[in-house]
Amino acid sequence: MNYFENKKTIPRFIKNKITFIKVFSFFQILFSLFLFLLLSFILFLYYNIDYKNKIFKLDTNINFIFDKIVKSLEIELIPYPFLLIFLLIIFFLIFIYGCFNLTMIKKQAKKYKLWLKNDENTIPEFIYSVYKKSMVYKIIANWFCSFSYIVGIITLSILVWLQYQYINNENIFYLGFWKIGTIKNLQTEIIVTSSLILLFFILHCFCFIHFKKTKTQIISYWGTDILSLEEKKYLKRKTN
Question: Per-residue pLDDT averaged across 165-173, rounded?
Answer: 71
Residue 60 makes CB contacts below 8 A (sequence gap 6+) with 66, 67, 70, 71
Residue-wise pLDDT tens digits, 7-66 = 556 777 778 888 888 898 999 999 999 999 988 988 888 777 665 555 566 655 555 555
pTM over 0.75, yes/no? no
* Distances in whole angstroms, Cα of residue 101 to Cα of each of 20, 22, 96, 106, 192: 12, 8, 9, 9, 27
Mean pLDDT of the chain: 79
pLDDT at position 1: 45
Q: Is 183 helix (H, G, I), strand (E, B) or coil?
A: coil
